[in-house]
Structure formats: structure tokens, C-alpha cells
A and B are shown apart, each in its own frame.
Chain A
Amino acid sequence: MSVNAAIDVIVSDVVEVNSLIKRFHFKRADGQDLPAFSGGAHIVIEMQDGDQRRRTPYSLMSSPFDTRDYQVSIRRDDNGRGGSLYMHREVTPGMAMKISYPANLFPLDLRANRHLLIAGGIGITPFLAQCFQLDRMGANYELHYGVRSPELGAYLEELATRLGHRLHPYFDDQQQSIDFNALLSQQPVGTHLYVCGPTPMIAKVLATAPSLGSLEAHIHFEHFSHSPTAYPFTLALSTTGPIIAIGHYPSMS
């Protein structure tokens, strides 16, 4: 993936999904369709936040079959590195931004006979795009979606309409949680498992799966929390001499 290859886009809409999540729509500045992508793909959004330039990846949630716009949903993280706060506070319709070409590190494995999707919170976003694809393929799949409460369950209503019996929601505030042991042990051979959500949830699935003999090649996951920032370091340009201190956030580029 080339992070530097950028597409000029205009923010075409910003929608408040719930008290924590906003959805951002991007259209190409030149009016063309955006590049094709597959479910699970992400884009890197470039943000010029004062004198800081941030590049943050977000999963595309819109249909891979409609590239007139790209949509991402971003949960506000008050303790994060600041990308989500910038998006929530500063980004408004009409704004010009740069995004990367889409890249997919969390694709569906099309050799599977059945797809078991497990989402926690905002980790639902790559699955929203994948479900469009799975529906079009007529694939056998189920989505298990854990949320804090019905109010904070983003896209639950839309998913219930689109997916029907394939959707299995779980609400923390009603003391419901996914029983991974029971769920995984009921899956037929040939099932592929996709997990996206908070780190503890992924850890739980990965801990359950081996005891059931699930194959590594049948398990796909994507962490939806920021990776720890790199340590600050100094950079010396040996021919010209200046020593530059690189802090936590800006990168060398």
C-alpha cells in the first residue's frame, strides 16, 4: 500500500449516527467515481490538524458496489491520539481532504463455505461493507455483533433489515455476551472466522479457537484500537549536520 498516493476528495456529508459515532461521506473532487474496493478494505485519511499532519486508517463501510462515494464511521475516542477528535470537531461538509487509495488487509476468504463475522462496537464497519459482498455472492454467513446498549449499537436497525436472521446482536447492558466456546463449537468444517473489535474481544476468540482445533488459516482478525505510538528519537543528517528530534506524533515524512 502506498500511503502517499492520495486522492483529492470533498466531504460530501457528515451524519451523526449516535452520541459517539459520526459517519463521513467522501466524493472525488473531480466528480469521477472512486476506485473499486473489496469488503474489509480501509483508506488512510490525511488530516492537517494545525501544524500536525495525521494519517489514520479507517475501514470503508459503504457498499463495494457503489463507489460514487466512500463512507467511514468514526467513533470519538477522547483518549486516543487525536485523529477521531479532529474528525468529529473539525470536519464539515464541503471540506477538501486527501485520502489514500483503498487497501485491504482484512479481506473475505472466498474459499470458505461459510463466513462467521464477529464484531465488537465500532469494529462493525468493515463487516458492513463485507455483508454487501456476501449478500451479492449468496454466501452462507452470520454476523454476531456485541454492543454496549441498543442506543449505542450503530447500524443495528439497518443490519436487522438487511440481514434478518443472519444478525445476532448482544447487548452489554442486558448482560448478554457472546459465548465463543458454544458458538465456535457449533460451526461446520469449512467455516472461516472474522473478528474485528476491541483487543480483549479478539484475544478471547483467539484463545477459544485453538482449543477447538480451528485452523490459523481459518481465522482472520483486525484490531480496532490504535497501536502504541513509536518512541521519540533523534535523526541526524550526516552530510548536512542538523539533528532533528522526532516526537511521538509527526513522522519523518
Chain B
Amino acid sequence: MSSIQYAPFKSRPFYGTLSPVSAVAHLIVAEGEGAAAVQALVAAAPAEFPGKATLVYAEGSEGQVNTDALRDLGFARFHTSATAHAAIPRLQGVLERLRMGTQIYLTGSETALSLFVKACADAGQDYQGLQTEHRGSLARRMQCVHCKGITEGVTTQPAECAHCGLLLLVRDHYSRRIGAFQGVNINAEDPSEVPEKEEVFR
């Protein structure tokens, strides 16, 4: 068996565990299984925490999440969307109205975190101040470095670019500006050589 080896990369984001901090206000953005991280966050926080917090929740494709359980936590504002992508315009609107001094917490799948961190960066919020926690799928957003197309939901190594069809090595090299991992053609010298795909980003 020849599994593909690739070196870890400095830009690959690492996520932590959400923990409540004292702040003027709180914004929580969660997707799918991130709901459990939100429940844990509220359980660890003082009683007045939800009253100062806005939750933007994307149900995601996992489907088993009880949105009502989150609603019952008593957030000052609560918005739901079907998917992380659908939540972005809502998140942008919320970010526009937030004041400096608001702590932002993000949780969900790798793809959802990529989208949420990028939306915050686009609103001028530095990634270093964000709290993040990974829950759920490791499927990646991938940018093809050749045609620049973004392929969503990449679970295999290598993976095909949905735009130009090249077979790409999915690297840990990550672009925060684009919110995607970089994919580089794996068989440029001999396109007839096709390495076997393995599902590595479940």
C-alpha cells in the first residue's frame, strides 16, 4: 500500500475548545454538530451569558440536530439557516452591526469554519481574536491553484478539481483570505499515472 505522504504546513488551521470570556457582547456562529459545542459553551458560562449573545446557527447536512434545544438556551438573538453557505449573508449582516469588544465563537465542520473565519476576516476581524472549535466533518474547501476554482466537500486524497478536472493533491497549505486548502496537480508529468483515491477527510 502506498498512502500519499504530505508534510504538515504552517498555515493549516488548528482549532481549540470554545470557552466563555468576559466581553461586551458575544457572537456565536455554529453549524451542524457544532450545536453540542454551543451547549457546552453555555453550560460553562455565567447565567447572563446567553442574554448578551447572538447565535447564528446553520443546521447543516447532518440532520440530527435539535434546533429547539439551542433556542431554549435563551439567546438574545437567534438566527437559523439551512447550511453554512446560506448562513453567510446573515452573518455578514450581524457583523456589520456588532461593536468592537464583542467576542466571536465559531464551531462546526472544517468547511463551515473556513467560511465563518473568512466572513469575519472580510468584516475586518482578525482571525487571532476568534475562538474556534471543530465539530463534525473534516471535508475541505479546496482551491485549485491552476484554474483557481473552489471545490467544496473534498473528502479524498487526491481529489478532482470540479472546474478544470485536474487531479489535485490536497495540501495542508491553507489560504485564510480565500478560506480554502490549496490543491496542486498530482500527475502533471504523466497524466496517465492516476494514484488511487483514499477517503482521508471524513
Question: Which residues of chain A come closer than 8 Å to B96, judged between CB atoms?
Answer: 188
Q: Which residues of A contact B125 (CB under 8 A)?
A: 189-190
| Chain A: minimal CB distance from B142 (Å) | 23
Q: Are A189 and B24 in contact (CB under 8 A)?
A: no
Chain A residue with minimal CB distance to B127? A217
Query: A184: shortest Cβ distance to chain B, in Å?
Result: 6
Residues of B with C-beta under 8 A to A191: 100, 124
A192 to chain B, nearest CB (A): 7
Would you give the shortest CB distance from A186 to chain B, in whole angstroms? Answer: 7
Is the CB of A114 closer than 8 A to any CB of chain B? yes
B164 interface residue (CB < 8 Å to A) = no
Total interface residues on A, CB under 8 Å, equals: 20
Q: Does B86 contact A (CB under 8 A)?
A: no
1/0 per position for B84-127, CB-CB distance to A under 8 A? 00000000000111111111100000000000000001011110
Residues of B within 8 A of A164 (CB): none
- Which residues of chain B have C-beta atoms less than 8 A from A200's C-beta? none
Min CB gap B96→A, angstroms: 7
A184:B124 contact, CB within 8 angstroms: no
Choice from B24, B101, B103, B124 contacting A190 with Cβ under 8 Å: B124
Docked complex Cα distance between A217 and B124 (Å): 11
Query: In the complex, what distance in Å separates the CA atom of A215 from the CA atom of B121?
Result: 13
Contact yes or no, B126 A185, CB < 8 A: no
> Is B129 a contact of A190 with CB atoms below 8 Å?
no
**Which B-chain residue is minimally distant from A215 (CB atoms)?**
B129
A114 to B96, CA, bound (A): 11
Contact B101 A212 (CB under 8 A): yes
A94 CA / B97 CA spacing, docked (Å):
54
- Give the residues in chain A near B124, CB-CB below 8 Å: 111-114, 189-192
Of all chain B residues, the one with the shortest Cβ separation from A111 is: B124
| B101 close to A188 (CB less than 8 A) | no
Pair B100/A212 contact, Cβ less than 8 Å: yes
A191 to chain B, nearest CB (A): 5
Residues of B within 8 A of A81 (CB): none
- Please give me the residue from chain B that is nearest to A113 by CB atom: B124
Supposing A212-B24, A213-B24, A217-B128 touch, asked if A190 and B123 sit within 8 A by C-beta, the answer is yes
Q: Does A214 contact B (CB under 8 A)?
A: yes
Which residues on the A side are within 8 Å of B76 (C-beta)? none
Instruction: Give complex CA distance A9, B102 in Å.
Output: 49
Minimal Cβ-Cβ distance residue in A for B103: A213
Question: Cβ of B145 < 8 Å from any Cβ of A?
Answer: no
**Shortest Cβ gap from A39 to chain B (Å):** 18
* Nearest CB of chain B from residue A89's CB, rounded to whole Å: 45
Q: Is the CB of A184 within 8 A of B101?
A: yes
A203-224 CB mask vs B (1 if < 8 Å, else 0) is 0000000001111111000000
**CB of A9, distance to nearest CB on chain B (Å):** 38
A72 to chain B: closest CB distance in Å?
31
> Cα distance A214–B128 when bound, in Å?
11
**Cβ contacts under 8 Å, B104 to chain A:** 189
Q: 19 A-B pairs, CB-CB below 8 angstroms?
A: A111-B124, A111-B126, A113-B124, A114-B124, A185-B24, A187-B100, A188-B98, A188-B100, A189-B95, A189-B100, A189-B102, A189-B104, A190-B124, A192-B124, A212-B101, A213-B103, A215-B128, A215-B129, A216-B128
Give me 20 other A-B pairs in contact (C-beta within 8 A), A188-B97, A217-B129, A218-B126 excluded: A111-B124, A113-B123, A114-B124, A184-B101, A185-B99, A185-B100, A186-B99, A189-B99, A189-B102, A189-B124, A190-B124, A190-B125, A212-B24, A213-B24, A213-B100, A215-B128, A216-B128, A217-B126, A218-B100, A218-B129
